[in-house]
Structure 1
Amino acid sequence: MITVQNLSKQYGQTKAVDDISFEVAEGENLILLGTSGCGKTTTLKMINRLIEPTSGNIFINGEDVTRQPAEILRRTIGYVLQNTGLFPHYTVGENIAIVPKLLKWDDKRIASRTHELLEKLHLSADFLNKYPNQLSGGQQQRIGLARALMADAPILLMDEPFGALDNITRAKIQDEFKELDELQRKTIVMVTHDVQEAFELGNRICIMDKGRMVQTGTPAELLFKPVNNFVKDFLQAQRLQLELKTVTLQDIWELLPPATDISGAEVNIRSTDNIWTAMELLKANNQQVLIIPSPANEPKTVTFEQLMTAYHQYQTTLPA
């Protein structure tokens, strides 16, 4: 869906982005992760030409993005900012309808799509006549997402979309983000400096430093096969929690004990769920859970203690 070739952006003698290349498959969520000033936001803005590159090429569906006017390109790409970017003197309804009006949608179609998105984002239609400053931070962020999704563009760019929210609101919206069907069919490039967020939401993660791409890979590849000490050190402070959210029950399947009494397991969990999810479920229920569906249809039940034992055995097989 997106191909970036030898992309660079230079300001005077400073290279904000230095000869990077990557591809984003259709339906994939690629996270650009790194500290402030590493070039991730500049990279994102070059994709929809909010910033023009010094050199290099960007293709969307095989077509060079420079072959059409920038304003036309942007109407086909959703864009979400950290501070929502809502126009303060427009109502919520007017903010959401900006791109469809540019695309000459009729009022009936705009109203239908607006109410569809409000329902999916758990927002009341009562918000439509309010102004952004009358909403909470979480509500504003949902409205910003609704505006980006309104025209149903196949590509969504997100620049620190949850960075301005408090931790509780942020966690809730991240959970909604993962479950929202609207996003399951989008190709997403998202910028964050939050390691946990990157591992929660990304199919692949690109770690950047000083304008260059250091390593791109799945969360498991970054954790267990870092290309150098920079990547290893970047993740080290949160490594345990990252592992728990990356390793699945399938990964430790052979280390789990055989099933005991299946009828005694009142709670189910998927074998594709991660260790962290299983821990939270077991702590809340204080009993064994049944894992479904399981490899080779082999039923297994697990308690918290058995889960931890299997995970610690698995850790001994990992690279130091």
Structure 2
Amino acid sequence: MRLSLLDLAMVRSGQPIGEALADTVHLAQVADELGTFERLWFAEHHNMRSIGSSATAVLIAHVAARTERIRVGSGGVMLPNHAPLTVAEAFGTLAELHGDRIDLGLGRAPGTDQVTMRALRRNPADADRFPQDVLELQGYLSDQTRIEGIHAYPGEGTRVPIYILGSSLFGAQLAAQLGLPYAFASHFAPDHLQAAVRAYRDGFRPSEQLAEPYVIAALNVIAADTDEEADALRRQALSSRVRSLARRVPQLAHADLDDDIVAELMDTPVGQQARHMATYTVHGARERVAEGLADFQRLADADELMVANAASGRDARERTLHLLADIASA
């Protein structure tokens, strides 16, 4: 079973961001030392107080410099927020610094709300150019730029592998057409997983980067020494997600969302949304998690599973890593 990790550099309520980033580095080093995980990806999000991975390339550079084996990359860079040339230069620099350990996962969503999207100087229509921007970026990272006279230095010739991220048929069809690996964001957008994977596999065309289709499917995992401990951690994770979603509601953005209020929100549309987003969550002790991972891999028809480590707190997340490594090596 191929396992990888998705990290948002989660910032707990009241936690200094610097401390949260230090936790991220520590967990990356643990994953690297375990030698089980294929890759570690960081996701671009903006204007979310509980997520510290907004400057994705900066965090990748920091973590790659402090690990030795594990691949490090983006899951993903939201390409319409950036010029393809600047992405090529950033990830070309990473590749020159860290060799063949860098991945470039690309998405077309804003990674934020509509107001913040405008603060990013992004036009909603920019998403319509996503296929063209992917091709332009591919050109910069290869030896054949698609824009005459424009080259990525660093970047040109590095051939940083590109992955298409998505949660709908659009990304699946694009990845298939371009012959690129496809990663489905089922850890928070579960609805179209199976349909998207079928569309990708059915429509795949081999490319220079990839001869056969390759699917990565994401899910949330909480592993603990006992089922009861994992159940408690699952409740904490669900409460954290409810709290995060509630902060996007204007009337609740600055409210004191204590545990009692969060408990009341569980029976509202916010709570229902949080539970739906967590549809693909595996939690429990070792055996239950092993069975859940195998079941999900069959359901998703996935070549690799991307684990969002959903436990709250560094110690619990580190224990999840050790148990996952034990499962994968069994």
Give TM-score scaled by structure 1 length. Answer: 0.32
- Higher relative helix content: 2
Give TM-score scaled by structure 2 length. Answer: 0.31
Greater gyration radius: 1
- Higher relative strand content: 1
